[in-house]
Amino acid sequence: SMTIAHAQPALAAIREQLQQVGQEHLLTFVDQITPEQRSALLAQIASLDLRSLPGLIERYVRASSDAGKGSSAKIEPVPYFAADHTSKDRGWDREAYARKGRELIGAGKIAAFTVAGGQGSRLGYDGPKGCYPGGAVTGKPLFACLADWILAAQERYRPATGSIPWYIMTSPLNHEATVAFFKANGYFGLKATDVMFFPQGVMPSLDLKTGRVLLSQKHEVALNPDGHGGSLKALYTSGAIDDMAKRGVEHISYTQIDNPLVRVIDPAFIGLHAASPQSSGEMSSKMVAKSDPGEKVGVLCKVDGRVGVIEYSDLPAELAQARDADGGLTYSAGSIAVHMIGVEFVRRLNAGGGGGFSLPFHRAEKKVPFVDLSTGQRVEPTSNNAVKLEAFVFDALPMAARSIVLETQRLDEFAPIKNATGSDSPASCAEIQTRRAARWLGGAGCRVPYKNCGAVDAVIEVSPRTAMDAGELLVGGAGAAKVPAAIPSGAKVVI
Ligand code: UTP
């Protein structure tokens, strides 16, 4: 038949390409699958960058090296703008920069950008992480938490036109589910034409022992998204950057999907990134002071004179523990994965068409379900069996000519959901939301109930539509009218 006449040469050619890179096992079951499955498998294999595989396997599986490891670079603490802008050493004119930021937002030069292509494997949630409940009381999905922030920013900074475009990076594994979720939820009140989705790239998942690419089905290669660092390429190759240029967008406000308190659009940070003499307007970062030397967050540092992030596992212990004369951690700048990124910077990184650009990979050992080649059975591994290769967005920081760091208060904007239980879990996130709300409301004169242990005796969620910061709950602020006189013990309250 036509199909077979057409499929045979493709099969032979692909078998030969696979043999050249030691991956011919991917065709083990090619005679046991349907013609449709076979064409899908061949198309999938054809889309992989096979020639780069042997080098990657040698480096990341056999030698198990990692982009950040084993370097002899000179590490110094990073200078930063303090959360307390009145600070003696690190103070700055917050109002002037916030005004600049509001001007840029008002002129339509800022887009929101959220990376939501991850697999959320630690949380163990089956679906796009953005669909997971984020609101402490409402249980509204994480996507809605961020959408509400954008709506609030539109109401305040762009009342005339009402739009701040929102770009969302998905992966081929969750793209359709994400788009369907937005449709089903009316884009959470945003205009459908202001929300753009594009999938990131993928990498084959590799067997931890042999470096062989795993099959997730007899007819399917195991793929994983290529890391949040893949966003800098996907923004370009998807056409998102061109779309931004058409809309007049100059800077991108980069956030992750898993932090419902994230300030998706932050005028003061935008102003510093775009207008501070210390910034080239290419890539800027936010940090919170690390809670203790062992906290598992990447640390913003100067590496050979350039701003960069060192993963917690790569920061030498003596540096992680080092203290200043005042007792504070010398390397305290914990990255919260919030960045401002210049549209022109993304263009520059992709100069040459985007095909050639990629950040270094990091290896992560994970559990990846696979088909056993000898039995044909699918196996759900109970321990790590695979290496995933992922790029990290902060590896682009040293490519910026001048990069600034802004410190923020942890309680105000950092409550990530990573794990099912314990730290950085849905429970800890709800607790932080409540503590933040209690502090804001208490500051505005509301009586908040506390237990003897000091915990808030209620669950409280403040919508960004009501207040984007503590100040908006004070007399004369946008949300002042919504502050109750008191919150009853044990209540669940949405403000
Ligand atoms: P994490 O590195 O915390 O990963 O992603 P994750 O996928 O959410 O969860 P685990 O590691 O499987 O448990 C941080 C942010 O980067 C995005 C995630 O969606 C999240 O917003 N991300 C991560 C991507 O967009 N693509 C990726 O390939 C990886």
> pLDDT tens, position by position, for the chain (495 residues)?
445 555 566 899 999 999 999 999 999 999 999 999 999 999 999 999 999 999 999 999 988 767 655 568 899 999 999 999 999 888 999 999 999 999 999 999 999 999 999 999 899 999 999 999 999 999 999 999 999 999 999 999 998 887 999 999 999 999 999 999 999 999 999 999 999 999 999 999 999 999 999 999 999 999 999 999 999 999 999 999 999 999 999 999 999 999 999 999 999 999 999 999 999 999 999 999 998 999 989 999 999 999 999 998 889 999 999 999 989 999 999 999 999 999 999 999 998 765 667 799 999 999 999 999 999 999 999 999 999 999 999 999 999 999 999 999 999 999 999 999 999 999 999 999 999 999 999 999 999 999 999 999 999 999 999 999 999 999 999 999 999 999 999 999 999
Q: Which atom of ligand 1 lies closest to the CA of 255?
A: 21
Instruction: List, as own/partner pairs, every contact residues 39-45 make where C-beta atoms lie below 8 angstroms and the sequence separation is at least 24, other chains included.
Output: 39/3, 39/7, 40/219, 40/220, 41/219, 41/220, 41/221, 42/7, 42/10, 42/11, 42/14, 44/220, 44/221, 44/223, 45/14, 45/18, 45/221
Q: Whose CA is nearest to atom 15 of ligand 1?
A: 256
Distance 165 CA to ligand 1 centre (A): 22
- Maximum pairwise Cα distance, the chain: 80
> What's the confidence (pLDDT) of residue 407?
97
The answer to whether 131 touches 181, Cβ cutoff 8 Å, is yes
Q: Is the CB of 118 within 6 Å of ligand 1?
A: yes
Q: Please give the single-letter amino acid code of residue 359.
A: L
pTM summary value = 0.94
- To test the pocket of ligand 1, the residue of 256, 361, 419 to mutate (highest count of ligand atoms within 8 Å of its CB) is 256
> What's the confidence (pLDDT) of residue 8?
60
Instruction: From 148, 155, 118, 150, select the one nearest 134 (Cα to Cα).
Output: 148
> What's the confidence (pLDDT) of residue 1?
44
Q: Exposed, middle or buried, 11 (CB in 10 Å: 0-12/13-18/19+)?
A: middle
Instruction: From 219, 265, 303, select the one nearest 102 (Cα to Cα).
Output: 265
The answer to whether 346 touches 232, Cβ cutoff 8 Å, is yes
- To test the pocket of ligand 1, the residue of 146, 173, 197, 228 to mutate (highest count of ligand atoms within 8 Å of its CB) is 228
Q: Exposed, middle or buried, 283 (CB in 10 Å: 0-12/13-18/19+)?
A: buried
> What's the confidence (pLDDT) of residue 364?
92
- To test the pocket of ligand 1, the residue of 254, 258, 361, 423 to mutate (highest count of ligand atoms within 8 Å of its CB) is 258
The answer to whether 123 touches 417, Cβ cutoff 8 Å, is yes
Distance 119 CA to ligand 1 centre (A): 6
Q: Which atom of ligand 1 lies closest to the CA of 123?
A: 13
Q: Is the CB of 121 within 6 Å of ligand 1?
A: yes
Q: Is the CB of 228 within 6 Å of ligand 1?
A: yes
DSSP string, 365-397: EE---EE-TTT--EE--SS--EEEEEE-GGGGG
Q: Whose CA is nearest to atom 28 of ligand 1?
A: 227
> What's the confidence (pLDDT) of residue 356?
67
